[in-house]
Structure 1
Amino acid sequence: MSKESRKKSSNPASYGAAPGNRVAAAAKKVAKKTASQTTTKSAKKTTAKTAMAKAATTKASVAKAAKPASGGAGLAEGAKAPAFKLPRDGGATVSLADFAGRKLVLFFYPKANTPGCTKEAIDFTRLSKDFAAAGTAVLGVSADSVKAQDNFRDKHDLAVPLISDETHGMLEAYGAWGEKSLYGRKFLGIIRSTVLIGADGRVAKVWRNVKVDGHADAVLAAARGL
């Protein structure tokens, strides 16, 4: 054997890596792969949690924006009446400021030309002169269009102004818009309500889930006593 051959055969590198080194290298590779997978899973979990947090924040913001700025179902007697400015039958505009220094009755009804709403509007019309004598103005409010209010007025010779609140802003502020139930089905709609506002611009009395029979007379009695 030549000197060159003996030198080559005595060099461990000529036989490749030792068995122990190969095992260590394989273990290191597996550990690196496992660490990479763990990091990826952790990143995905963090991304999912961030997305869920953003969704929850967005949902909360939308819910907050949907609530009326003032008034609502908790509209309390003694509280300042929420301001409004809306179109009425005939095309004119009506606002709370128009009645400053006077008592005002707002009766909220679900829909023009339906039996209960028709009777209620006729009852307030029948007593319109008595309300005027008591220094009290009366306004009817629903989500019907101005055209529908015009038809309602003409069909039943109504003598009280009828406000159109198609966006529900005033209805919500006065607590007259909320969840209702009919034949087991729940939905959002107008809750028949009446609010009496004093000459000082504050809520004097609130009636919720009104029963039409005798209601207008009861409101007149309250207005007279205010």
Structure 2
Amino acid sequence: MYFYPAASTPGCTKEACDFRDNLAELNEAGLDVVGISPDKPEKLAKFRDKEGLTFPLLSDPDRSVLEAWGAYGEKTMYGKTVQGVIRSTFVVDEKGKIEVAQYNIRATGHVAKLRRDLSV
């Protein structure tokens, strides 16, 4: 499961397309991918269709899920402290236990690093 700030922005598009391009290998390793952002479902549907994303994108407009997972809060952007989505990824096992929690990740190269970390 990964949390991202906004559909159709350059970094979020790169990250989503990296997950899409690596989805077969992740699935073969027993990993499903789900993306969550505060975007409305209509925006997520356009993003999914435009980028050919083949995994679920979930909408959390009130940010309750983001906050529960620690993926929304204070962060630094361009040298300023702001409130927003903290780009994060979690690997959750079949029993719901969090195996990996990564916060403040970079969109570019993140999926490759995740695959290395998980030996996928």
TM-score, structure 1 length as denominator? 0.50
- Counterpart CA distance in 2 for 1:145 and 1:223 is 31
State the match for 2:83 in structure 1. Answer: 188
- Which of residues 78, 85, 93 in structure 2 aligns to 1:198? 93
Is 2:31 aligned against 1:142?
no
> Percent same amino acid among aligned pairs?
40
State the match for 2:65 in structure 1. Answer: 170
User: Are the counterparts in 2 of residues 196 and 223 from structure 1 also a CA contact under 8 Å?
Assistant: no
User: Are the counterparts in 2 of residues 195 and 207 from structure 1 also a CA contact under 8 Å?
Assistant: yes
Q: 1:132 Cα deviation (Å)?
A: 1.1
- Counterpart CA distance in 1 for 2:26 and 2:98 is 17
- Counterpart CA distance in 2 for 1:135 and 1:218 is 17
TM-score, structure 2 length as denominator? 0.91
State the match for 2:112 in structure 1. Answer: 217
- Which of residues 46, 51, 65 in structure 2 aligns to 1:156? 51
Bigger relative contact order, structure 1 or 2 (CA pairs below 8 A, ≥6 apart): 2
Q: 1:222 Cα deviation (Å)?
A: 4.0
List runs of 5+ in structure 1 lacking aligned partners: 1-105
User: Are the counterparts in 1 of residues 5 and 84 from structure 2 also a CA contact under 8 Å?
Assistant: yes
Q: 1:188 Cα deviation (Å)?
A: 1.1
- Counterpart CA distance in 2 for 1:214 and 1:180 is 20
State the match for 1:118 in structure 2. Answer: 13
Output one character per residue of 1:151-174: Cα deviation in whole Å (capped at 9) or x when no partner. 111111111210100111110111
Output one character per residue of 1:21-47: Cα deviation in whole Å (capped at 9) or x when no partner. xxxxxxxxxxxxxxxxxxxxxxxxxxx
List runs of 5+ in structure 2 lacking aligned partners: none
Larger radius of gyration: 1
User: Are the counterparts in 2 of residues 134 and 224 from structure 1 also a CA contact under 8 Å?
Assistant: no
User: Are the counterparts in 2 of residues 136 and 223 from structure 1 also a CA contact under 8 Å?
Assistant: no
Q: How does 1:1-226 map to 2 (within 5 A)?
A: 106-224=1-119
Q: In structure 2, the residue corresponding to 1:141 is in which secondary structure?
A: strand
Q: In structure 2, the residue corresponding to 1:187 is in which secondary structure?
A: strand
Q: 1:122 Cα deviation (Å)?
A: 0.1
Q: Which structure shows the higher strand fraction?
A: 2
Output one character per residue of 1:168-211: Cα deviation in whole Å (capped at 9) or x when no partner. 11101111000123344432110111011122320101111101
